[in-house]
Chains A and B, each alone.
Chain A
């Protein structure tokens, strides 16, 4: 373990005040002994920087998939008071509401006799990779409505079924979304991209439920061993990137004007209820709605493909749940014996609300929200459920994925994409991408093992395993 870290619990560590100048509270992170080697000093430094921001409550936090980012580390979580706190794009990132959803199907693994044909059909249907454009014909007014209304708008327009919206965080519609501070530039980028997968680590995967850890909760989520599912991982595309770029520019000068001292310019911020803070929050929430619709439109295309190939109805392919990985939200939490409205930033972290919370859909409320953890390409993904412990310790948050351990360039050098593709095929996983290079940069060896990350959050009690999913076919940009 790095020098200066204080052990709090079996898998919980504290970065004491003073680790970097100006820390208002200690920082804490969760890490098991077998992940210690992967911890970067730079990431801990970034986490400590978060603890210097005004109005931060209790601790700056990081999940076991922590690694260096910009502004907040990836895996970072921080909550700020409404009255004295700030809002910062550095705690959200460029890909606003990058997230993941899981779609169930009535199919069993043995029904998928033509995996290659299915994956090729999905690849032809879902626009994928840099420069890919949507087949959706969106008017300026349509975009405006989408930004404010999110998934319910998409369902109304025919891109989903009624039950979809309630199985998204925030019902697929962030409160406070405002299209006005979404610039013309952001809209211009967003117009042709709704319903596109993008590139990088974004993917669409056909999976099978491989192992059930908690049959009771799995039944509540509608999942059982051997069942075929579909996972969709993508974000807000150019619209979200532009919202971040535009508002970062404004907040950069606002930070100085409000007399806020920050150790990293990427942590540019403004008081929650300042004009600049409110404009960013409104635009960010609108971009979050765009991302939900993006995943919703892709869901619609996936359902069309499955319906065509297997003769099943859309209603037989329910959305299990959709979680956001990069977002700031207005939430009510118990802090030191009182209920308080906080602005919770999660950057590469997942909300993990426990049983009883009103934000969890009625049909899941008794067991807590589903937490969807995508593995890296070729490795296991997981569904967990939120817990009361997460509510007490991490503002209802947990990890978001495996976390990289190798740069994309190093990954490309270590094994050519063709070899990665063939090795995965040897394990029964058919991968279809726009290029072999993009397969190489996402090679399984470039990531922490997702089971170790999941093991850490389980031991910490932040979320508990429900099922494990094995990849069968992957499409990526």
Chain B
């Protein structure tokens, strides 16, 4: 598992690790959807998105916020992600399935992706980030 949940009294905090920045972002998205939905599979739904931000930290917030938006208005649950970052521009493909209350209820509703304590750091050979979600 490339992400774990870090104890937090009120909200949900995840620590994500990956060998490169693209995978770090993809895993952060996977972590977010695993908090929101008890199950998610790639069943043929695909969306592409592009995000540009001022810096890498903002890019993480903006990327995850964009996925929250698409997921809610298109009623889609994503499970896997392909991310390509160039500087502070990001392109991604997200794969998943239509939202189905019978399959997906039981997770937590994420209201927002917080900047609090958010950073993207090198930890030895790996990239690491801790992200706090408002639930």
Interface residues of A (CB under 8 A from B): 40, 67-71, 74, 93-95, 129-132, 185, 188-189, 198-200, 238, 241-242, 244-245, 248-249, 252-253, 264-266, 268, 404-410, 434-438, 441, 477
Check A437 against B38 for contact (C-beta < 8 Å): yes
Nearest CB on A from B66, distance (A) = 9
Q: Does B86 contact A (CB under 8 A)?
A: no
Extra contacts, 10 of them, besides A245-B68, A268-B115, A437-B106 (Cβ < 8 A), are A69-B134, A130-B105, A185-B69, A185-B73, A189-B69, A241-B111, A253-B54, A265-B116, A434-B105, A434-B106
Inter-subunit contact B9/A67 (CB<8 Å): yes
| A143 nearest CB across to chain B (Å) | 14
Which residues of the other chain, B, contact A95 by a CB distance below 8 angstroms?
A: 111, 134
* A130-B104, A131-B99 known; A252 vs B9 contact (CB < 8 Å): no
State the CA gap A264–B113 with chains docked (Å): 14
Chain B 95-134, CB within 8 Å of chain A: the 1/0 string?
0000101001111110111111110000000000000101
Complex Cα distance, B132 from A407, in Å, reads: 13
CA distance A409 to B105 in the complex (A): 16
B12 touches A409 (CB 8 A): yes
> Hey, which chain A residues are within 8 Å of B61, CB to CB?
249
In the assembled complex, B18 has its CB within 8 A of some CB on chain A: no
Judge whether B116 and A407 touch: CB under 8 Å. Answer: no
Chain A contacts for B118, CB-based, 8 A: 265
Complex CA–CA separation, A90 to B107 (angstroms) = 25
Q: Is the CB of A408 within 8 A of B12?
A: yes
Select the residue from B11, B99, B113 with max chain A CB neighbours within 10 A: B11
Q: Is the CB of B10 within 8 A of A438?
A: no
B107 in complex: contacting residue of A130, A189, A248, A264, CB < 8 Å: A130
Do B36 and A94 touch across chains, with their CB atoms under 8 A apart?
no
Bound form: Cα–Cα A467–B25 in Å: 50
Task: Give the size of the chain B interface in residues (CB under 8 angstroms).
Answer: 40
CB within 8 Å of A: which of B56-93? 57-58, 61-62, 65, 68-69, 72-73, 75
CA distance A241 to B110 in the complex (A): 9
With contacts A95-B134, A244-B112, A438-B106 taken as known, whether A70 is within 8 angstroms of B58 at the C-beta atoms is: no
Interface of B, secondary structure class, is loop
Q: Which residue of B lies closest to A235 (CB)?
A: B111
Tell me the complex Cα distance, A244–B58, Å.
15
Cross-chain contact A242 with B69 (CB below 8 angstroms): yes
Q: A265-B118, A477-B109 are in contact. Are A131 and B10 (CB under 8 A)?
A: no
A436 to B65, CA, bound (A): 28
Q: Are B116 and A70 in contact (CB under 8 A)?
A: yes
Considering the chains assembled together, what is the distance between the CA atoms of A266 and B115 in angstroms?
5
The answer to whether B105 touches A249 (Cβ under 8 A) is no
Q: A131-B104, A188-B73, A407-B8 are in contact. Are A70 and B135 (CB under 8 A)?
A: no
Cβ of B35 to closest chain A Cβ, rounded Å: 9
Whole-angstrom distance between the Cβ of B15 and the nearest chain A Cβ:
13
Which of B58, B61, B112 has most A Cβ within 10 Å?
A: B112
Contacts of A265 in B (CB 8 A): 57, 115-116, 118
Q: State whether the Cβ of B20 lies closer than 8 Å to any Cβ in chain A.
A: no
Do B10 and A266 touch (CB < 8 A)? no
Interchain CB contact under 8 A, B108 and A404: no
A153 shortest CB reach to chain B, Å: 24
In whole angstroms, what is the CA distance A68 to B65 when docked?
22
> Is B7 engaged at the interface, CB distance under 8 Å to the other chain?
yes
Contact B106 A200 (CB under 8 A): no
C-alpha gap A189/B73 in the complex (Å): 6
Neighbour of A264 across the interface among B8, B12, B65, B115, CB < 8 A: B115
